[in-house]
Amino acid sequence: MPENAPLIHICDDWISITLSDRESVLAAQAAFAASGGWTEIVPGMDSIAVQFDPCMLSPDDAARLTRHQLKSATSVNPESTTMVTIPVCYEGDLAPDLAFVAEKIGIETDAFRDWHTSRPQQVAMLGFMPGFAYLESPDPSPAIGRLADPRQLVHAGSVGIIGRQSCIYSFDSPGGWPIIGRTPLLLFDPAQEQPALLSAGQSVRFETISRQTFDQWPRTTAK
């Protein structure tokens, strides 16, 4: 861990730990998961929370355990996680905001898919809904904001972009991210032992597929 001690705040039966960067969050997540004792371990963008059973641990003991386990946190090597390839169709009604986003970036519409697939991405965290992934690219990006009017329905698999972040919707839902494509992959399958396709810290690469490939992609029973 970096020398500056993380800020710990106890809120009843959970503890919020503010950390300096993404690597520290991933390292803390791995350390908490390895040590055990927590009912939930939830990474945020620059923080992580652990929940405990107040019948088993007092808040003070839980805070002590947190500090102790954080000491053993060592940075997770991004190279050690497998690269996940996400096929995306960047065409037509699957990419309703692509033209507007390409214009913001200052590239031709046809060049957008190459721009997006060439950017390295890392899963920052899951949240919002089961399996919904927030991805972050280290490469700079022009400011792309939320839609002024959120859509009532964004289809599962839709890929959104806001600034350096991309996201993948795991279920049909309302949403405000500009949508630049859609993957046929199932992001969350509760019947699986590992229900989420992605997890925090994973490296992701987008890969262009045609509309025909998208339509013919074998679907498992989504929802």
Partner 1 sequence: MSIRVLKAGLQTTLQGDPFRGHRHLGMPSAGAADALSLALANFLVGKSSGALAFEITLTDAIFEITEPCLIAVVGSAEFVRINGKGSPQHQTKAVVPGDSLHIGPSLAGCRTYLATSAEICAEKLLGGKSTYLVAGLGGFHGRALKDRDIIPFLRDFSADNIDLATPPALRPHYSHDHVLRVTPGPEGNGPTEELMRHFCHDSYTVGARASRMGMMLEGAPLGAGIFSNMPSAAVFPGTIQLPPSGKPYLLGPDAQTTGGYPRIAQVIRADRHLIGQLRPGSRVQFVQTTTARATEIYREKLSLLSSWLGQIDLW
| Interface with partner 1 (CB under 8 A) | 9-14, 16, 18, 29, 39-49, 51, 53-55, 58-60, 125-132, 134, 170-171, 173, 188, 190-191, 195-196, 199-200, 223
Q: Which is nearer to partner 1, 15 or 89 (by Cβ)?
A: 15
Closest distance to partner 1 from the beta carbon of 43 (Å): 6
Distance of CA 107 to the CA centre of its chain: 26
Are the C-beta atoms of residues 199 and 126 closer than 8 Å to each other?
yes
Closest distance to partner 1 from the beta carbon of 194 (Å): 9
Are the C-beta atoms of residues 44 and 52 closer than 8 Å to each other?
no
Q: Which is nearer to partner 1, 112 or 134 (by Cβ)?
A: 134
Are the C-beta atoms of residues 32 and 48 closer than 8 Å to each other?
yes
Q: Which is nearer to partner 1, 131 or 181 (by Cβ)?
A: 131
Angle between helices 22-35 and 59-71 (to 10 degrees): 110
Closest distance to partner 1 from the beta carbon of 114 (Å): 29
Q: Which is nearer to partner 1, 95 or 124 (by Cβ)?
A: 124
Taking residue 89's Cβ as centre, other Cβ atoms within 10 Å add up to 23
Nearest to 126 by CA among 26, 11, 12, 206: 26
Closest distance to partner 1 from the beta carbon of 52 (Å): 10
- In which residue are the tokens 């102790």 written? 68
Closest distance to partner 1 from the beta carbon of 166 (Å): 15
Separation CA 28–CA 186 (nearest Å): 28
3-state DSSP assignment of residue 155: coil
Q: Which is nearer to partner 1, 9 or 67 (by Cβ)?
A: 9
Residue 157 dihedral angles phi and psi, to the nearest 5°:
95, -10
Closest distance to partner 1 from the beta carbon of 54 (Å): 5
Write out the two tokens for 137: 């690219």
Q: Which is nearer to partner 1, 91 or 172 (by Cβ)?
A: 172
- In which residue are the tokens 């509760």 written? 190
